Amino acid sequence: MPTFDYAPAPESRSIVDIQPSYGLFIGGEMVDPVDGTVFKTVNPATEEVLTEVVAAGPEDVDRAVAAARHAYDAVWAAMPGAQRAKFLYRIARLVQERSRELAVLESIDNGKPIRESRDVDLPLVAAHFFYYAGWADKLGHAGFGAAPQPLGVAGQVIPWNFPLLMLAWKIAPALACGNTVVLKPAETTPLTALAFADICRQADLPPGVVNIVTGAGETGQALVSHGGVDKVAFTGSTEVGRAIARAIAGSRKKLTLELGGKAANVIFDDAPIDQAVEGIVNGIFFNQGHVCCAGSRLLVQESIADDVLDRLKRRLGTLRLGDPLDKNTDIGAINSPQQLEKIRMLSDVGSEEGAERWSAPCELPDRGWWFPPTVFTGVTQAHRIAREEVFGPVLSVLTFRTPAEAIEKANNTPYGLSAGVWTDKGSRILWMAQRLRAGVVWANTFNRFDPTSPFGGYKESGYGREGGRHGLEAYLDV
Ligand code: NDP
């Protein structure tokens, strides 16, 4: 337990100017919907209604796709790469200039701690635009032929766990390659995408190059199945990813899917234990565990399991849960009541199936949606909490004796997005990395992201890569 209490250190909300209602960003302007309805977006930490946004209807989506097509044909595709790069650099600089405002807005709308939105999400958003700005005039040197061509209009649907960062992952490479986009943010987190619309205007981006249509699943469905879309990029649940793959099967649309995960974080007995404990915490409790590549299955070598668990529980006792805008907060709010319900349900199933449940002793605020950091021990591979994506601050602990057993257990999942290995031996890291069926393998670290590094999955975690040179391929006709 902490030896002293922290005084509150709240970040000011005054930097954020939330309007009473928002329209759709189509053709470079905020416009009223034609057939859309409105819904409210809520602060998950307080349940306060923040503003009203539009659930775009099929006609609205149609207008957005037409605007993107016009911008593609009239300006963007034919613009020299060096010119496109200037716009992307401009956007990156504007994101940096407005990063405090965007970080506060993200924390208010999503519930994530300001420490994370300020120190992780926003720097990575800017880095993505800077990185892909650098590629825009060098596409002929990316390994996809001398003059690779863009695809056309990209329809992009993103989730609520990293709203602005997922937007950057989608929009930066698409624009760098000469495509125009229509993006739908998640229903519960539309505000930073709407702020990004303002950044596009500030950057003088030609109208229609980026269009933002807010809404729920039906809006996403209308977008991905629209006949004028050439490329679909989706991040979210495996279930919706499957539905999208079915919906566009047989069409000429190119598809990338970044779906769920159930990553193993493997700790060997020669690992630096204190660092590994920090890595476990960062792996599963970062962003309330709302992370597709979260290290939600801890595989710890049997001989050190008791020691690791003791230290882990002690460390979890020091995490501070509460006001996302407080700079001392480690664990913020759960994004929606639906997600909280899912976390509760799967945790209850964990107890019912016989695993031992432990939660960090912390008080939960009266209002808002919260779940304490929770660890299940005595978990077997048959348990649902070892197989299904909880997408919350819930860790399942399993043990192993030999490296071969660690590999077998780590790979025993329908997913394959990421994995972590903690050991003192470089040769063991390489041995493990060659055998883990995961798109990303972190060694002696976890949840580290870099725009230069490709990210994506095997099996039910989806297909295609985002980030790095590989991320260009998804937006080029190759
Ligand atoms: P979804 O996969 O439903 O949402 C992702 C995005 O797709 C949202 O913008 C959503 O809109 C949109 N969408 C929903 N249905 C369709 C459709 N038929 N066609 C096109 N777009 C659609 O995830 P949820 O938010 O419902 O979360 C459910 C579970 O998914 C979580 O509990 C978690 O396990 C997992 N998940 C995994 C993520 C990952 O990165 N691996 C990210 C998010 C969730 P809307 O916002 O209205 O739902």
Residues 278-299 pLDDT 10s:
999 999 999 999 999 999 999 9
Distance from Cα 167 to the centre of ligand 1, integer Å: 14
Q: Which residues are catalytic?
A: 258, 292
Indicate if ligand 1 lies below 6 Å from the C-beta of 389. yes
d(CA 308, CA 271): 10
First to last CA, the chain: 56
Indicate if ligand 1 lies below 6 Å from the C-beta of 344. no
Does residue 307 have a pLDDT over 70?
yes
Does residue 4 have a pLDDT over 80?
no
Distance from Cα 340 to the centre of ligand 1, integer Å: 15
Atom of ligand 1 nearest to the CA of 336: 25
What's the average model confidence in pLDDT over 133-156?
97
Indicate if ligand 1 lies below 6 Å from the C-beta of 462. no
Average pLDDT score, the chain: 97
Indicate if ligand 1 lies below 6 Å from the C-beta of 443. no
Q: Which pLDDT score is estimated for 6?
A: 82
Substitution site in 371, 391, 415, 458 for ligand 1 pocket (most atoms within 8 Å of beta carbon): 391
1 residue type, one letter: M
Indicate if ligand 1 lies below 6 Å from the C-beta of 251. no
Does residue 1 have a pLDDT over 60?
no
Q: Which pLDDT score is estimated for 36?
A: 84
Substitution site in 158, 187, 188, 240 for ligand 1 pocket (most atoms within 8 Å of beta carbon): 240
Distance from Cα 237 to the centre of ligand 1, integer Å: 5
Nearest protein CA to atom 11 of ligand 1, as residue: 217
**Which residue's structure tokens are 């061509």?**
149
What's the average model confidence in pLDDT over 453-475?
94
Substitution site in 40, 156, 157 for ligand 1 pocket (most atoms within 8 Å of beta carbon): 157
What's the average model confidence in pLDDT over 34-46?
96
What's the average model confidence in pLDDT over 213-217?
98
Does residue 3 have a pLDDT over 70?
no
pTM, rounded to two decimals: 0.97
Indicate if ligand 1 lies below 6 Å from the C-beta of 342. yes
Angle at 260 between CA 259 and CA 261, to 5 degrees: 135
Atom of ligand 1 nearest to the CA of 215: 47
Least confident of 2-16, 226-240, 393-407, 408-422: 2-16
Q: Which pLDDT score is estimated for 5?
A: 78
Does residue 334 have a pLDDT over 80?
yes
Of 278, 391, 283, 289, which is closest to residue 331 (Cα–Cα)?
Answer: 289
pLDDT band at 88 (very low <50, low <70, confident <90, very high): very high
Distance from Cα 409 to the centre of ligand 1, integer Å: 27
Q: Which pLDDT score is estimated for 2?
A: 55
